[in-house]
Structure 1
Amino acid sequence: MTEIRHIVFDIGKVLLHYDPSLPFSRLIPDAAERQWFFDNVCTSDWNVEQDRGRTWEEAEGLLLVQHPSHAENIRNFRRHWHEMIPHAYDDSVALMEALIDGGRDVTMLTNFASDTFREAQERFTFLKRPRGVTVSGDIKLIKPDRAIYDHHVKSFGLQPAATLFIDDSQKNVDGAKDAGWQAVLFTDAATLRSDLAERGIEA
C-alpha cells in the first residue's frame, strides 16, 4: 500500500451534520405528510441537481410548475437551509485540524451547492483551514462521477495512489477507489482515527 501523502475529507455527515427534516418538522408537523413532501416534491434527486450546479431559482421554478399548491414549502427548502446544518461534528473537526497542524496535506471534496457552501464556510470557519476544496456546484460535477476525482487530483497536484479519501457514502468511497485513490467509509471520528493509525497516520 502506497504511503499516504494527501488526505481528502468529504464535508456533509463527516464534518457537518445535515438533516433536511429539521426545519420541516416544524413547517410540516404531520410526519406522513412531511415524508410525502420529501418523496414527491423536494426529493433527494431534485436536491442533488443543485449540488451539480443548477440554480435555486431554476430548481424552485421546476417544482412550482409541477406542485403549485406546495409553493411555500418549495421555497422554504432554500429559505430554511441554514437550519438543516445545525452544528459541526466537533470530534471530526478536531481530528482534521490536528492533521493540518501536524503538517499533513488536507483538502476537501464535497457535493455541495455553490451558494450554500459559501454560507457554510462563513458559519463554520474551520472549512477555510484545509489547503483547498473542490465544490461540486462550482464545477458541475458530482461524486461518484470519475471526473470529479480526476479534477480534484489535477487541481491540487495529488498522486491518486498516495491519496486517502474519507466519505460517509459507500458509493463515493467506491468512486474514489475506482479513480485509483485509497478510501475509507466514515462512520465516526473514533473509527476514522483507527483507520488513519492503520495507515501510519497519527492525529
Structure 2
Amino acid sequence: MQQQYTSIIFDLGAVLIDWNPRYLYNKIFTTPEETEHFLEHICTSDWNEEQDAGRALAAATELLVQQHPAFEDQIRAYYGRWQEMLGGVIEGTLAILQQLKESGRYKLYALTNWSGETFPIALTLYPFLGWFDGIVVSGHEKIRKPHPSFYQLLLDRYQIPAAEALFIDDNLRNIHGAEACGIDSIHFTSPEQLKQVLIAKTILS
C-alpha cells in the first residue's frame, strides 16, 4: 500500500538554492588548493554551523580573526561578501516545487540550517520562498539539523503527523535525523533523481 503524505518538507541549500563558499573564495585565492585549505582549516563547515545554530556573525568572525590573524581579510569576506556565495536557484527542483504547489495536494514546508542574520537576504532574492506554508530557520530557533528537536519543532508548530510527512535533504546526516523522528525521507542528489522518486511514490505523475 502506497504511503499517504500530506506534507512535504524541503531543505533549501543545495536542494533549491545553490550556495557554495567556493564561488567567493575561488575569486579571492589564486588556486583551488588554497581555497580548499582555507575552507577545511579556517572557515570550516563546523564553524559555519555554529552560526546556523544562532551564534552571531560578528562574534564568529572575531573569534577566527583572533585565531588566524594572517587571514583576517579572507575571514571577514565570509560574511562581508556572503551574497557572492549564492549561485542562484536550482531550476529543476524549483520546477518540482511549483508543480507540487499548483497541485494543491500537499502542504509545503522548508526546514533549513541557515543563519538568522543572512536568511532575510534570501527572502528578498528568492520570491519562491513565499510559496511555503511555513519555514523553520535554525538560526532563529537556536538549534539545527540533525538534532531531533529541530524536526519535532516543525512538526509541532504546524501540527504535522510524522507519518504523513516526507523530508528532502542533500545531507545524509540530516536524512538520518529525520528518519529517527519517524519522517520518511529522500536523500537528494539531483532534481532528476528527486523527480523519479516522487513519481515512484505517486506524488508526481
1:72-83 superposed matches below 5 A = 72-83=73-84
What is aligned with 1:129? 131
Aligned to 2:199: 197
Are the equivalent residues in 1 in contact too, given 2:57–2:117 (CA < 8 A)?
no
Letter in 2 for 1:5: T
Give the match for residue 43 of structure 2: 42
1:61 corresponds in structure 2 to: 62
Q: CA deviation at 1:33?
A: 2.5
Contact 2:92–2:191 (8 Å) recurs in 1: yes
1:35-82 residue CA offsets vs partner (Å, 9 max, x unmatched):
221122111111111100101111011111111121111110001111
Counterpart of 2:93 in structure 1 is 92
Distance in 2 (alpha carbons) for counterparts of 1:72 and 1:154: 42
Q: Deviations along 1:81-115, whole A, 9 cap, x unmatched?
A: 11111211111011101111111210100101112
- Of 177, 184, 190, the residue aligned with 1:182 is 184
Residue identity (%): 32
SS of residue matched to 1:149: helix
TM-score by length of 1: 0.96
- Are 2:113 and 2:139, in contact at CA under 8 Å, matched by a contact in 1? yes
Helix, strand or coil: the match of 1:42? coil
Other structure's SS at 2:18 match: coil
Report the Cα distance in structure 1 between the residues aligned to 2:198 and 2:68, rounded to whole angstroms. Answer: 47
Which runs of 4 or more aligned residues in structure 1 lie more than 4 Å from their structure 2 counterparts after TM superposition? Answer: none
Partner of 1:105: 107
Number of residues paired by the alignment? 203
Q: Residues 108-119 of structure 1 correspond to what in structure 2 (within 5 A)? A: 108-119=110-121
- What residue is the counterpart of 1:161 in the other structure? 163
RMSD, aligned α-carbons: 1.2
Contact 1:107 1:131 in 2 (8 A): yes
